[in-house]
Structure 1
Amino acid sequence: MAQAARESAGKVRERIRRGLWTSHTSGLADEHVQGNVVILPQSLAGDFLRYCQRNPKPCPLLAVSEPGEFNLPSLGTDIDIRTDVPRYRVWRHGELVDEPTDIMPLWREDLVSFVIGCSFSFEQALLEAGLPLRHVEQGRNVAMYRTSIATDAAGPFSGPLVVTMRPLRASAVIRAVQVTSRFPNVHGAPVHIGDPTLIGISDLARPDYGDAVEVMPDELPVFWACGVTPQAAIQQARPEFCITHAPGAMLITDLLNHQLASF
């Protein structure tokens, strides 16, 4: 991963496109904005757009394509949404049926692509502020959990808020809030700090997605809204057909993280 982290966004996408990288993207091209991906038929795109607008914390929109458009020029000159995600998820009637590394054979002219901000993009700022991130140090995917917090429904889309968790020493938590508050387009400040049972998480050692990391006795678990939230909503909505990224396997864009800072 260290070698890949030194590569440009374009070089990393090229490796992904060639099938040379099929894992999570935490720490890759770390100066660049990463995005969660949801691809839906045009008939559901309006409802999903409203879902994102009503839930901006977990679903901050970075780009929305025209139907059938697989290039996203506002995010990168050579991006092809059909090949540039390390691993996709294919859903039929709300059930996960496949996890391919390329969706060219599945592409349709009625598909609309949504790219949603990802907390991987504020990790660079946390690291630069001297706040260590255990999952990055250990080369793991970030831990993600479904919570008891309901999102605001739109059309058939509803479901629980999904969060990421990063353990931090109590003395670092205020600084983490300050740093991430500058990045509302990639989830912004934490939604919860401390006792996970208060948001419906019973066991931090068993994340719903990603990899568990240990929370040390002198640390607090800190939770941020997560762009995997739409996948929980898709399971509720049960669309006939849908494609997403696999949790942690993001689209890496040409945008720089500092460009998204609000102050």
Structure 2
Amino acid sequence: MTADISPLTLRQRIRSGEHTTNTSGYAAGFVQCNLVILPKDWANEFLQFCQLNPKPCPIVGMASQPGDYMLPDLGEDLDIRSDISGYRIFENGEHKHSVTDIKDYWRDDLVSFLLGCSFSFEEPLIADGLDVRNVSQNLNVPMYRTNIDCRPAGRFSGKTVVSMRPFLAADAIRAIQICSRFPSVHGAPIHLGDPSLIGINNINQPDYGDAVTIKPNEMPVFWACGVTPQAVLEEAKPPLCITHEPGCMLVTDIPNSKLSIL
């Protein structure tokens, strides 16, 4: 089963090209991370941006030195250049390439940031008996650009991206209670109900990921999402930036339990 696979085994399958899809529902119990890689002269401003916007950009880890691509604090034999199933290459803010390996793009001045991902809190939601629709339908989680401003830092500013999971009202309350224990992976939702109030015009057409079924009497529940930096980077226009493909996360050896505040 996908949930039972170890993080190391999943990373090895990704590195070999055996696994090429999203990582939602895989390696249950372990922290998944969004990725942002920037040149050193952009890194401090991005770090400040993350510190000012902890809901969409909670830092789980980062490279200790520019040029480091092995990240032993996050996992055994973890190579950031090859252990994510999909990468996006941005040049001057434009998405130029999608690749499965970034060794050809690697430079000694690059700094890697790993940001908490909502896939990590899906496990306790499911364990509590809630239906996490993107997992039960074997889809990538739907993600949307909103009208919610991030706090600016230097050259970085822009709008928040959110992920969405639909629940009945009682289940939404339970989801809020559960996710509040995990601030390092986005924490509690930032909106629920009418999507137009946060600038989403069509809930059935996500900007990233897949549309999921919203059943009668269910409401959409929105969490700040680690794809936010991709939208912000498009405006900041660094000469080079590398991110994950939405839904394709770095699966670490860090247990989710280590991020719980309770």
Provide the TM-score with structure 2 as the length reference: 0.98
CA shift at 1:30, angstroms? Answer: 1.6
Question: What secondary structure does 1:5 align onto?
Answer: helix
Question: What secondary structure does 2:99 align onto?
Answer: coil
Establish whether residue 230 from structure 1 lines up as the match of residue 233 from structure 2.
no
CA shift at 1:74, angstroms? Answer: 1.4
Query: Residues of 1 paired with 2:215 and 2:197: CA distance?
Result: 19
Establish whether residue 84 from structure 1 lines up as the match of residue 76 from structure 2.
no
Give the number of aligned pairs: 261
Question: What secondary structure does 2:253 align onto?
Answer: strand
Q: 8 Å contact 1:26–1:136 — kept in the other structure? A: yes
- Residues 61-80 of structure 1 mapped to structure 2, 5 A cutoff: 61-65=59-63, 66-80=65-79
Query: Residues of 2 paired with 1:169 and 1:120: CA distance?
Result: 20
Q: 8 Å contact 2:8–2:76 — kept in the other structure? A: no
1:42 — aligned with what? 40
1:218 — aligned with what? 217
1:173 — aligned with what? 172
- Residues 90-105 of structure 1 mapped to structure 2, 5 A cutoff: 90-105=89-104
1:57 — aligned with what? 55
CA shift at 1:229, angstroms? Answer: 0.3
Q: After superposition, what is the alpha-carbon deviation per residue over 1:126-170, rounded to whole angstroms, capped at 9, x for unaligned? A: 001111111101110000000000101111111110000000011
Establish whether residue 126 from structure 1 lines up as the match of residue 158 from structure 2.
no
1:7 is aligned, of 5, 8, 14, to: 5
2:249 — aligned with what? 250
Runs (5+) with no aligned partner, structure 1:
none
Q: 8 Å contact 1:4–1:12 — kept in the other structure? A: no
1:27 is aligned, of 21, 25, 41, to: 25
Query: Residues of 1 paired with 2:252 and 2:191: CA distance?
Result: 28
How much is the aligned-residue C-alpha RMSD, in angstroms? 0.7
CA shift at 1:25, angstroms? Answer: 0.5
CA shift at 1:4, angstroms? Answer: 3.0
2:155 — aligned with what? 156
CA shift at 1:259, angstroms? Answer: 1.2
Establish whether residue 106 from structure 1 lines up as the match of residue 134 from structure 2.
no
- Residues 181-200 of structure 1 mapped to structure 2, 5 A cutoff: 181-200=180-199
Structure 1 residue ranges (4+ consecutive) displaced by more than 3 angstroms after TM superposition: none
Q: 8 Å contact 2:36–2:112 — kept in the other structure? A: yes
Establish whether residue 203 from structure 1 lines up as the match of residue 202 from structure 2.
yes
CA shift at 1:7, angstroms? Answer: 1.1
Q: After superposition, what is the alpha-carbon deviation per residue over 1:204-237, rounded to whole angstroms, capped at 9, x for unaligned? A: 1000000001211210100000000000010000
Question: What secondary structure does 2:74 align onto?
Answer: coil
CA shift at 1:77, angstroms? Answer: 2.3
Letter in 1 for 2:35: V
Provide the TM-score with structure 1 as the length reference: 0.98
Sequence identity (%): 54
CA shift at 1:73, angstroms? Answer: 1.5
Query: Residues of 2 paired with 1:231 and 1:69: CA distance?
Result: 22
Question: What secondary structure does 2:148 align onto?
Answer: strand
Establish whether residue 138 from structure 1 lines up as the match of residue 137 from structure 2.
yes
Letter in 2 for 1:259: K
Letter in 1 for 2:249: M
Runs (5+) with no aligned partner, structure 2:
none
Query: Residues of 1 paired with 2:245 and 2:152: CA distance?
Result: 23
Letter in 2 for 1:144: M
